[in-house]
Each structure stands twice: as C-alpha cells, then as structure tokens.
Structure 1
Amino acid sequence: MPTHEQWQQQVEKVLRKSGLLAEGAPTPAAPETLLAETTHDGITVQPLYTADRDVPQAGVPGLAPFVRGSRADGCVAGGWDVRQCHAHPDAAATNREILADLAGGASSVWLRLGRSGTTVEDLPDALHGVHLDMAGVVLDADEHFGEAAEALLKLAAEEEVRPSALRGNLGADPISVHARTGQAADHAPVIDLARRCAESYTGLHAITVDGLPHHDAGGSDADELGCSMAAGVTYLRLLTAPAPAGAGLDIDTAAGLLEFRYAATVDQFLTIAKLRAARRMWERILRACGASEPARAQVQHAVTSSAMLTQRDPWVNMLRTTIAAFAAGVGGARAVTVQPFDAALGLPDGFSRRMARNTQSLLLEESHLAQVIDPAGGSYYVEQLTDDLARTGWEWFQRIEAAGGMSAALDSGLVADTLAATWSQRQESIADRSDPITGVSEFPDLDETPLRRDPAPESGDEHKARNALPRHRYAEDYERLRDAADRHLAESGRRPRVFLATLGSLAAYNARASFARNLFAAGGIEAPEAGVTESTRELVNAFTESGTSLVCLCSADKVYAERAEDAAQALKQAGASVVLLAGAPQDPPPAGVDGFVHTGGNALEILTDIHRRWGSANGAKQ
C-alpha cells in the first residue's frame, strides 16, 4: 500500500510541473495544502481526507445524534416525500397543476397563498379533488398563515376527513415573515394552531422553521444553520411557555410540531453535510431542553435553491436541480422539492413541472437512491465537513442568542449585516469566476433565444423595511449586463463589441482568444477577431473595419514579447480607445496596454466598464 508521504511526493511533482510550485522553491511540509480551497464559511476543504481526522462519532441511523438520519430505516420505507410547490395566482390553474403533479409522482402539495400565490379564499378551489387523507398539504401564506390554516381545516371538516388523518404542515412561520419584510409578525395565532395540532391534528406540523430567507439573501450554509437553530429555539420557547404567553406544551410535543426547511444547492457535499449538521445541532439543543431521544430527531424539507437558478441558459438548471435533489436525498431529507428549471423566469409551464417531478422519480425509482441508508456515511470528507459546518453554525447560533434571540437579531440588523457580508464575499467569487456559473459566467450562448414565461405573483418586497433580507440570485449581475446588451442590440442593431487583435499563428493565439471571447460573451459582448495577419498593417485594417474602439490583444507570451507594444501603439494611433491584453498582468504593462484579461481577474468589473464605454448600461456612450 502506498504511504501518505509517497502520495505527497507525487503531488509535489504535479504542482511543480503545473507551475503552482515554482521550480527550485523549497518543498512545503504538506504540498497538498496548495490545492486546498476555502468555503464562504471559512472552512478549508483539503484535497485528501484520511482516517487520521478526529471527528465526533456520527452514531447510527435513527438514534441520537441523528447525524446519519432521523429514521432507523433511512428512507427505505417508500423513499422521501416528493413535495412540489404551487404558486399560480389562478386557483383553477393551480388545481390542474396539483392534480397533474399528484398523478405524475408527487406525494404532497406545497401551496403558496397570499401575495406569492393564489388567495386564501380560493384554497378550496385550488385543492378541489385532492384527497386530504392521502396527500399531505403544506401551506405557505406569509403573515396570513392563520387564515390559511383555518381554511384548510374547514375544508377537511367539510370533506369529513378525520383530524388525525391529515398530513402536512400548516406553515405558521412569523419569524420568516419578519426576516423577509423587516416587520415583526403576530405570534399569537401560532399558539392556537400548535394547541389544536397537539390535541387533534396529530399528523400535522404547525410550524415551518424556514432557512430559505437566509439562503436567498446570499447567506452561507453555516449562516442558514445558525439562523434556523435560533428560529427553532424561539418557537420552542413560545410553545413551552405557560398560557397565556405560550401554548403550555411539553418539550416533546412542542418539538414534534416543527418542520425545518433548507436549501439544497449544486454543491452536493455541502448540501449533504448541512443536512447532517442540522440534525446534530438540533439534537444537541433538544437534549439540553430535556427532550426524550425520539423527539430530538429533526424533520427536514429540502428545496432546490432559488439563488442558484439562472434566467440565461435556463436548461442548465435541470442539471443543477438534479444534483441538488440527489444531495438532499443522500443527506437524509424527509421531503424534497425540485423547483422547475424555469422558476427564475416566472410561472413554470407544464413541461418544466413534469421534468421537476421526473427528476425525483428517476432518483427514487431508477437510481434506487432511497434503498441505501446514509450513503455518505463513513466518508472521511463528509464526516469532517459535517463537523466543520456544525461547529461554525453553532458559533453563529450562539451569537444570535447572545444578541437576544432571533427576533432581536433581526430588529438590530445583526442578521442582515452578517448575511450582507457573506453575500459581498460571494459576489467577489462570482465576479472573478472562482465560483463559475455554467451558461452565464462560463460558456455562455451569446445567440440564445431568451425563454419567456408569464410573470409570477409579486412578493411585496418593494415595501420592505430597512432590515428586511433581500433576495439574490448568483447570476443576477451577469444577467443584468446580458439584458443591457440585448436592449442595445434592439435599439441600435448591434451588440457592444471588443475587437480581438490576434497576433501570430492560430496555434499561438487560439487559447487566449477563446478565453477572451468566452469572458466577453458573459456580458453579452461580441468579440470579432482579426484571424491570422501577416503584418501590423493588416491587423490595423481589420480593426478599423470592426466597428469598435475597444481592443483585446490575444496571443502567446513569446509573441507578446516580440509584438505586443508595437501592435498596441499602432492600434491606439488608429483610434483604439482601450487596449487590453489577454494574459497574466505585467508590471509595468507593455506600452499602449491599458489593462489585462486573465484567469482570476474581476470579469464583472471589465464587462461593466465595456458597457459603460459603449453606453449600453446607462444610455450615454463615453
């Protein structure tokens, strides 16, 4: 068997060959650390994990600390709950979609009501024909959760459904309303709904502890974990406090009324580790509260991330949601929602809804994913990442508690400021493309025909208070530039463009020309090239016919050394306002070169400047 030291020797050879470790530089004690990456939580991800890692025991499935799953059989007993979301404002359309989803493989319904969906009054029409004793119903009605719950319970009574046969969640979540709007919501209806569920509707959860507002604000996985734990503790205090201030329930009953909702992203390992860490953290909280072991198992609903969805090249979203759904299932979620690939564009159509359903059916029925209990268990990487996330999330949870709890932390701006700092850090990674977005910041299709969908209901975000959490999508800055370029094309008949001044042979310039063209296309910018030119005069002639004053030199370093300065100066004399060079920055730059286009550079900054010079961003060419 090869030793770790032998592996390190091979790593060093590769690093020296690739240039990551300079020739002649001393050998680091652990050369593989040069390949390590850091998450947005500050967690270092190493290229290799071994049994030498000292992490807490994960236990066994179905037993505390529930890292390996909240049920002893994992999801083998029928798999997870396939829960599809419905937010069409028209009750008849919603009803058709619900019945189609249930017939096509979904096992429960997530119904948005109020500003973000159909009206509460239309709930009976939306659920017409749904057997409430067979399909679970999860409500999401923002501050109208009390009225929505009453409407559902009334409908169930009219259809003579036994109270104990109802499944799902009444969706009471005033903390999420507070987070999204910046305004405190009434907690009083939560007490009544919790008592009624505890007494009669024993198959229903009363409360959703929603981590999505924190994820959608640009937060990290640990941010989402800490906020969800603090929100869960807030609800536990409310449910266990004596009447009339609380519901007066015992801790086991109170814990059983909560369902936690988390985002599942395209980073499958972070998603798996987040769900495992959440169960470990919640078990620790309930153990401290004196709950019995069975009551300490967290019930989780995983939703494919809205923040990761793109409006450009939306077909790629099907790949993103497939990976996210896979991670949610492997991570042990009890229910999974796959968002349709066109959800970022407006109201999904029938095809996209069917693809979302079939994604889960494929994972469950063809891939047999649910037939393996805790597939990630025993992976040194996953176990270490779970521990790192749990510890980092716990520190954030303690900060919120020290600030007075979740409501106080929202009012003071602590949560908003912390998430804004994470979003700013994430934006930098997106801007320099170290967090690439396929089809948007990488490999964009400049000639794609934008997909159109009917607009989704307004969320009311325009009326937010100062400390309300925003909603972000990772691709939004690039897509803003793409939209500006499309408008410029529609108004002027041409896109913003940068001329690629290719020097030398095709073999010399092709790699960097392809890199530059890909980068410019991410901002909707055309990049015509000179091709192979025999002289500077031919290069200048091609430039003057290109219809732009912006230039990017493209070639190999050896050719740059011979021709870059002469070409740049000749192009400037011919009218070029800006000359960029595709390649690593040089200090000082060659004469006539104004900047560099390179791996690790701020692509958004370059693209925004090009738009500014073209006038496509603000309507005034400079």
Structure 2
Amino acid sequence: MTHDPAVTTPDSAHSEDPALFSEFPPTSYEAWRQAAEKTLKGVPFEKRLITKTYEGIDLRPLYVRADTAELPHIKALPGLPPYVRGTSPLGFTVKPWAIAQELPYGSPAEVNAAARADLPRGQTMLNLPLDQATLAGLTPAYASPDLVGKGGMSLASVEDVLTLLDGLDLASLPLLIAAGVHALPVTALIMAAAQRLGVAPEQVQGCIGMDPLGRMVATGGLPMPLHFAYDQMAALTAWAITDAPQLQTILVRLDPYSNGGSSAVQDLAYALATGVAYLRAMQDRGLSVDQVAPKMRFSFAIGGQFFMEIARLRAARLLWAQVIAAFGGGAEAQKMVLHARTATWTKTRTDAHANMLRVTSEAFAAVMGGCDSLHISPFDECIGLPDEFSRRIARNVHIILQQECNFMHLIDPAGGSSAVETLTDELARSAWAMFQAIEAEGGMAASLALGTPQDQVAQTRTERFKAVAQRKDVIVGTNMYPNLKERPLVVRTTDSVALQAERGAALHKMRATADATVRDQALQSLAQAVALRSDLVPATIAAADHGISLSEIATILCSVGPGPRFKAIPAHRASEQFEALRAAADAFAATSGQRPTIFLAKMGPVAQHKARTEFATAFFEPGGFAVVGDQAFETPEAAAEAALAAEAPVVVICSTDDTYPTIVPALTGAIKAARPSTTVILAGYPADQVDAYKQAGVDDFIHLRANCYAVLARLQQQQGVAL
C-alpha cells in the first residue's frame, strides 16, 4: 500500500529520486506491473492483486506519485483548512489525544473507584457510558431490572454525581458523556454537583453530548417529538456558549451504524447528514454556525482495515470543513473535533486475548488519522465488565503509542502517503455523493423515516456476514485458527437486581430527606419553563439542585407529546454466528462428555492427502468439532472399516482430484451400506465429477468457496448439537 520511491511514473526525473536510491535506476509503474503479472502465471492482475472493499473502493497493491498529483487537498498544510492533515499546526507535539477510556460500571461508586485507580496511571478524560435505564430517562427503582447497569453507569441524582466525583478534580478533568436525548437533565445534575463542589460552569470541560438521531437509530424512537429535542439542544448549546464555554453539547455518534455493520463511506455520509441536521435545527432556533460548530464532537468506531480507517478520519475533517464553509462558517468553526473508539464489530468472545492485537492496530490507525480523544477496548469488553488488568493493558496501548512509538513527536505521520491520500480522496468523494442523496430525500431524519440508511447498513451487514461465513474475511480464533483448548475467561456482569435495590434505596432516601415544598416549587418552575420554552437550562439545574431526579426531569421534558418511531439498526459483531456454533458445541461436550466428531479418511501417502487434510481440519474446528483420524489409508476398504469403527457421524474424504475416481465410489458405498445415516463429505470440488460423486453417495463438498458457517450449522443440527 505504501509508495515505493524506486517505482516512479514515466515523467519522474531521475534527479527527483532521494539520494538513498540514486544508485538504482528508476522503474516505471508499467514495468513493475508487467513483472507482477508475470509472477501471476496467467491469473488476471485485477483478480489477484486488487481488493474489493465494502466501500466500493478498489485497493491497489501499489500507489505512486501520479495518483496524488491532481488531488485538490494534496497541498494542504496541518492546522489549515480543509484540515485534512489535522486541526493543529503542530499536531500531537503540543496536545496529544485524550486517553478517554470508558468506565462501564453500574454504580457511581464503582466508577469512582475505577477512575481513582486509572487517572493517576495515564487516563486523561473521564469517559462515562450511561446505562440503558438512564438513557431512557427511567428511574432505576422502577425500570426493568435488566436495564439498570446495562452498558454503563446508573445516574439518577445530584448525590450520584457527588459520589462519582469524590476525590476527583472536576475543574481540570474533561468529561465525555454520550447522553442520547437526555443531555439536558444529565448536564443539570453535573452542574448542580459542580456548584456544591465550588466549580464554576466555565471550568467544566469536555462534552456532554446530545444526539437524538443517534439514539433513534439505536432504539427505534424517541420519548419526545424531534422538534422539542432540538429545542432542548438549542437551549443547552446557547447556555453553554455563554456559561460553559469549554463544554461541548452535541455529539454525533456513528456507533449505531458501525455496530450494525456499516461501511466507512456510509459512516461518513451519515456523520455529515446528522451534523447538517443539527446545524440547521440550531440555526432555525437563532444560533449561528460559528456558534454551533465548535460545540459539536463526532465519534467514530475504528475497525480493522488499517489504511481505510486512517483515510476515514482524514476524509471526515475534509468533508466537515467543506460543509461548514458552505454554511458560511469561519476557519475555526470548520475544525472537526474527533473522538474515536475501537470498534465493537471486530471483537470476539472466542480467543478473546486476540482482541489485544486488534485494538492495537485499530488504535494505531485512529492516532495516525489524528483523533482528538480515544477509547481503546479492553480485550474482554464484549464478554463482560473489564477488570483492573484488562483496563490497564488497554490504557497502556495509549501510553506506548505516545511515549514509546513517539507519536507525541509527529505531525500527520500519514500525510503524503500516496495510498492514504488517494484513499482519503476516494472516500470523501463517495461519502459526499451519498450525503447528497440523503439531502435529496429531505435530510437525515426524513431519510431515516424512509428507512434508507437502515436498508443500506443491512445490505452491507449481509455482505460482511456472507464473507465471514465463507471465510473470505478471516477472524482469527473464530472462523479460522480456533483454539478448542482455550479456558473460558471469567465473565464479570452487573447484578442488576441487587443494583436496582441499592439504587432505589438511595433515591428513596434522597427524596425522604428533601424539603417537599422546595421540591414541588422546583418541579413547577421546570414545568413552566418547558411550557414557555424559556429558561430551560437554569430551571433544570435548579430542579436538580433541589433534589429532583433525572427521571422526574425527563418525565416533564417528555410531557410535550410522543416522539417518532423509526426502524432501528440492530447491533451485531462479525464473529457472533461462529461464536454461537462454538457455544453450542461446548455445551454439547459438557453434557455428553465429548465434542461432536468429524472423521478424516486420509487416503494415500502424506503428499497426496496433506493439503486437504489441513484444509478440512481448519474448516471444521471453528464449529467446535473434534477432528479425528490420525492414520492414512491405502485402500477404500480400510478407510471405511476405520470410519465405521470410530462411529463418527461425519466422514470427510481427503485426497486429490486425480485419485478420487478410484476412491470415492468404493469408500462411500461401503460406509453407506453399513450405516446409511453417515454423512460423507468430499474435501474439494472436482466440478466435472460432482454429479457422479453425488450419485455415489457423497452428501456435500467443502472447498474455498463453500459457506463454512452454513455447512457447520447444518452438521450441528444433524448431530443434535445446535442450541
């Protein structure tokens, strides 16, 4: 993917080559391609060396200077519009990215303990995911228990915030809170606690982000009309402009799309369309683009395609600068603030320690792309709550990148790479075209109502799952190279019932000790502010300060009427189908005492069967099957006798296409005659003999184009393994 200085374009002068290469004659791209095609021995160059991506972009094996010569952004400098090379002239040398590790524990006390352990050890931003009950605006006392503590911290009162911040310096600690549609009550609780701690609003920094469209995509609806959500966003943003200048109030989260399996082009288009929807809504409510744009932060999930992910963040800044310029915004407003997190989509529950390697690559790409803050997933994130060890390993990846890999001494390290610059341009162009299509449908909300983004993501997800099923997309430890002897990790989960009881008791105690008259007055003032659409933020902060809970505030804010209902995008991970197979096989082994079994009938000498023996073993083990049969056989009769003695329900014949005509009919016939229920599979797909082998009794064929997941699922069902 990187540019080789020794490969030049025809118009490149020899004098332009670096001195290091001066003793080597320059080689043209055409000469390199001819040499490459020669090694392919007749296989088309485009078939073997061009990689098709889910973005509709063809990845080439080599990029050269001519590819970037005419790109419109190629002469951009770091810190200058269109900010493709970063929003600061000196990059990380002045301000490194914030180490924003999520602390996903259920109670404020647990989060506080984790924060007090991690902040002195490298963490620089307090990243607080909220639980599903809080995001829904529900009191923990009466919410469904499975929502309390699910996905993050239960937050109900100003006392919770005080518990959370005990021993922490709010005045110097940036916050990152994705608050969905309830950013106003969350901000009110934070600000009420800040007042009690002696921290002025102008000292509070970071982002308490409202993202109604993102919440709608994740859940399928809102608890209030979208226009009133925008009223709250405008009120909160206007208040922050004057009272909390260091606090961002709008967060455009792409996680709901990424977790659904979206492509980089789709993410970029939806980011632009959502950002534009918020800008327009704020303009309609009297705020200018120069006021609103700096109050926005964008959050991207970073996947495993290294160069594509670098290009995605660079293209995001480029496109956002273009959008803000079109709105008439100035140079400062054109700067996009980027949060990144390593993707949930790419993480596995099987062989989970491999996630350490995945997040390292993803974090590397996020940093190369110039993120402003970053969460690196602990390796056990998709299994349960991280412990101190897994948090430490993830946090140390940041520190190694900063202090051992010297990223704090670099400015746009990807800049000038022919591959990265070309991909940046291609992504930007494709995403801009998709964004314009969304605008033609009436904007992001209208497009979501029509179901267009949902259908687009579903189509990409289907393509991804198909590629995983066929093992075109390799997931180490899951659909390839599984470790059937791995020891399951300890699963740490939140005891939602106990947590609900604890949280309910704390809330009841707070209400019992509060002055009922003062509470009633605060509730009335808030209801009046909602009705009049005025002084929303001061009234909400006052209500929080007087003991009104988040759910009570949310109830009043939602009293204006029902919200829209859209089709949600379900969250998935790429490995989940194969993980289900493994879980079923493990459960079967636990109850029956042995794994479901595959018998390999290896025919002839090692050279004859080795390739397909190894292929077959790698094919069946991802389904949790025990692959048995160490002996090779000289005759079909001997192989059939051994297979029947092993009582294996599935027999796989492994040899070569040339030898199969003399082996398959006899071997299959002997097995089927003695035990008709046995499934016989042939390793390979000799196209001209397939029908004949089926006539002889072969039930299936495994080969490079086979749907591995479908075959394994079918065999599990036949053996009574499937859950």
Structure with more helix by fraction? 2
TM class by shorter chain equals over 0.9
Q: Structure 1: which 5+ runs fail to align?
A: 23-27, 459-463
Aligned residue runs from structure 1 range 94-105, under 5 A = 94-105=111-122
Instruction: Label 1:530 to 1:593 Cα distance change in 2 as closer, same or farther (>3 A).
Output: farther
Shift of 1:32: 5.2
Shift of 1:562: 4.0
Q: Please give the per-residue CA displacement for 1:334-386, whole angstroms capped at 9, x wherever unaligned.
A: 11110111010011111100011001101101111232111111111111111
Aligned identity (percent) is 35
Q: Is contact 1:346–1:454 with CA below 8 Å preserved after alignment?
A: yes
Match of 2:423 in 1: 385
Match of 2:80 in 1: 63
Q: Please give the per-residue CA displacement for 1:313-341, whole angstroms capped at 9, x wherever unaligned.
A: 10000000000000000001011110111
Shift of 1:249: 1.8
Q: Is contact 2:179–2:208 with CA below 8 Å preserved after alignment?
A: no
Q: Is contact 2:301–2:341 with CA below 8 Å preserved after alignment?
A: yes
Aligned residue runs from structure 1 range 482-501, under 5 A = 482-501=582-601
Instruction: Supply the distance in 2 between the matched residues of 1:484 and 1:250 (Cα, whole angstroms).
Output: 56
Instruction: Supply the distance in 1 between the matched residues of 2:336 and 2:453 (Cα, whole angstroms).
Output: 23
Q: Is contact 1:181–1:465 with CA below 8 Å preserved after alignment?
A: no
Q: Is contact 2:175–2:207 with CA below 8 Å preserved after alignment?
A: yes
Shift of 1:525: 1.3
Q: Are 1:199 and 2:242 counterparts?
A: yes
Q: Is contact 1:80–1:370 with CA below 8 Å preserved after alignment?
A: no
Could you tell me the TM-score, scaled by structure 2's length? 0.80
Shift of 1:69: 0.9
Shift of 1:456: 5.5
Q: Structure 2: which 5+ runs fail to align?
A: 1-25, 133-150, 497-563
Match of 2:433 in 1: 395
1:76 partner letter: T
Q: Are 1:119 and 2:154 counterparts?
A: yes
Q: Are 1:230 and 2:273 counterparts?
A: yes
- The alignment partner of 1:296 has SS state of coil
Shift of 1:418: 1.1
Q: Please give the per-residue CA displacement for 1:575-605, whole angstroms capped at 9, x wherever unaligned.
A: 2632212124423323332322112321111
Q: Which has the higher contact order (CA 8 A, sep 6+)?
A: 2
- The alignment partner of 2:297 has SS state of strand
Instruction: Supply the distance in 2 between the matched residues of 1:105 and 1:87 (Cα, whole angstroms).
Output: 18
Shift of 1:144: 2.8
Q: Are 1:433 and 2:468 counterparts?
A: no
Instruction: Supply the distance in 2 between the matched residues of 1:167 and 1:448 (Cα, whole angstroms).
Output: 44
Instruction: Supply the distance in 2 between the matched residues of 1:497 and 1:507 (Cα, whole angstroms).
Output: 25
- The alignment partner of 2:348 has SS state of coil
Instruction: Label 1:204 to 1:411 Cα distance change in 2 as closer, same or farther (>3 A).
Output: same
Match of 1:608 in 2: 713
| Structure 1 residue corresponding to 2:699, chosen from 565, 588, 594 | 594
Aligned residue runs from structure 1 range 384-463, under 5 A = 384-455=422-493
Instruction: Supply the distance in 1 between the matched residues of 2:182 and 2:249 (Cα, whole angstroms).
Output: 14
Query: Pairwise CA RMSD of aligned residues?
Result: 1.8
Match of 2:388 in 1: 350
Shift of 1:141: 3.1
- The alignment partner of 1:84 has SS state of coil
| Structure 1 residue corresponding to 2:329, chosen from 291, 296, 299 | 291
Q: Are 1:46 and 2:60 counterparts?
A: yes
Instruction: Supply the distance in 1 between the matched residues of 2:698 and 2:642 (Cα, whole angstroms).
Output: 19
Instruction: Supply the distance in 2 between the matched residues of 1:101 and 1:411 (Cα, whole angstroms).
Output: 42
Match of 2:125 in 1: 108
Query: Which 10-residue stretch deviates more, 467-476 or 598-607?
Result: 598-607
Q: Is contact 1:329–1:370 with CA below 8 Å preserved after alignment?
A: no
Instruction: Supply the distance in 2 between the matched residues of 1:337 and 1:14 (Cα, whole angstroms).
Output: 43
Instruction: Supply the distance in 2 between the matched residues of 1:455 and 1:558 (Cα, whole angstroms).
Output: 55
Runs of 4+ that moved beyond 4 A: none
Q: Is contact 1:516–1:582 with CA below 8 Å preserved after alignment?
A: yes
Match of 1:160 in 2: 198
Query: Which 10-residue stretch deviates more, 332-341 or 521-530?
Result: 521-530
Q: Please give the per-residue CA displacement for 1:448-474, whole angstroms capped at 9, x wherever unaligned.
A: 12213223598xxxxx96601100100
Q: Is contact 2:103–2:115 with CA below 8 Å preserved after alignment?
A: yes
Shift of 1:435: 0.8
1:581 partner letter: L
| Structure 1 residue corresponding to 2:682, chosen from 570, 581, 584 | 581
Aligned residue runs from structure 1 range 199-348, under 5 A = 199-241=242-284, 246=285, 248-348=286-386
Match of 2:621 in 1: 521
- The alignment partner of 1:187 has SS state of helix
Query: Which 10-residue stretch deviates more, 574-583 or 440-449?
Result: 574-583
Query: Which 10-residue stretch deviates more, 580-589 or 73-82?
Result: 580-589
